[in-house]
Structure 1
Amino acid sequence: MDSGIKQRLDDFIVRKGLRRTVQRERIVELVFSRDEHFTAEELFDRVRKIDMETSRATVYRTLGLLVEADLLRQIDLGESQVTYDPNFLQKPSHNHLVCIDCNRVVEFEDNNVDIQTDCVTRRLGFTTVRQSIKIEASCEKLRLNGRCENLIASRLTGKRLRKKR
């Protein structure tokens, strides 16, 4: 985990008058060990593999704390499911392409999108603080080949797939 994240969290915990706990530290370590998006339940499953004592409530409270500390961002990638994005600190202006067939999420950055966003916000009298665009698209692999490894992997791991619209 990045030492800057750890320091910001420690400062935030002190300001809030909270105490450091081993369970919270484990959860934070897991959150920032990967750049992948995750749900609270996916994180809870990861936590339980290393610590059977950590409760679901502790995971949810820690996620809320990280969001409040502005270290983690909640994003809506569809299906009314809250997803967390741990890597927006390194890439504050990044966007998401979400496959409506296999649920694959691809992050992308694009200078043209950034320029367009800046032009629109300035023209309307605003200053961009952060930007996140979600584009939903159909999987080209599935359309062209009739199969997609990501769809198969999602089904094998039991991930919930989006409902067709």
Structure 2
Amino acid sequence: MRKQQTKGYPDLRERPKKQPDVLFEEALTYLKAGGFRLTKPREVIVRAAVSFAEPFHAEDLLAKARQLDPEISLATIYRTLPMLLDSHLIREVELNREHRYYEVNREQSPAAFHIICADCEQVIQVQDECIMLRERFLANSLGFKPLKLNVRIEANCLDLHEKGTCERRAKVTIASAAPA
């Protein structure tokens, strides 16, 4: 069961883009404010989580945490994930049906969404300055206040189908959909 945010907790979404060490300290502040014990395994898991530059799943987090402390268990990872989600240090992203994926909330804006290549399953994170404005306007016009936006586009690679090769197959790229 997740502890609910109450007054006094810092809202980790309200920050400019920050480096892993700063995110680590903010997460520890959140855990202390929420009355969570700062155990060594939790600190290791938080440090491992903030080091990811791309989406990860629980097993990825376990592997990275075990590099810091071989005693970390998958059960401890699963018990810690709700705290990281509640603190807004990480957010859940829908990338496939096999695993739950998470990514570090490094900044409040711009909003990011993902394009998943149906050919090679590469994940491309796209940042769009306008998506937050569009979704907020749409929700408000219908009488709602948006809490979460999750955009996932599954697509075929045009280069692969037209040229037979795709430069993106070897790496995850970050594209910007912001106007030039």
- TM-score normalised to structure 1 length: 0.76
Classify the secondary structure of the residue corresponding to 2:160. helix
Equivalent pair of 1:30/1:47 in contact (CA under 8 Å): yes
Deviations 1:79-113 (A, max 9, x none): 24200011354436221111122121122222443
CA contact (8 A) 2:110 2:129 kept: no
**Residues 1:52 and 2:51 aligned together:** no
How much is the aligned-residue C-alpha RMSD, in angstroms?
A: 2.6
Corresponding residue of 1:39: 57
Report the CA distance between 1:142 and its aligned residue.
2.2
Q: Which consecutive residues of structure 1, in runs of 5 or more, have no partner in the other structure? A: 154-165
Identity over the aligned pairs, expressed in percent? 32
Contact 1:102 1:148 in 2 (8 A): no
Any gaps of 5 or more consecutive residues in structure 2? Answer: 1-19, 172-180
Contact 1:47–1:54 (8 Å) recurs in 2: yes
Q: What count of residue pairs does the alignment treat as equivalent?
A: 153
- Matched residues in 2 for 1:49 and 1:8: separation? 22
Q: Is structure 2 residue 180 aligned with structure 1 residue 134?
A: no
Equivalent residue for 2:142, pick from 120, 124, 135: 124
Taking the aligned partners of 2:53 and 2:119, their CA distance within structure 1 comes to 22
* 1:69 CA drift (Å): 2.0
* CA displacement 1:109-152 (0-9 Å, x = unmatched): 22443333233112201233442311111122321233446557
Whose helix proportion is higher, 1 or 2? 1
Q: Which residue in 2 is equivalent to 1:9?
A: 27
For residues 40-95 of structure 1, what are the alpha-carbon distances to aligned partners after superposition, in whole Å with 9 as ceiling and x for unaligned?
Answer: 01111222233221111112222221012222111211224200011354436221
CA contact (8 A) 2:117 2:156 kept: yes
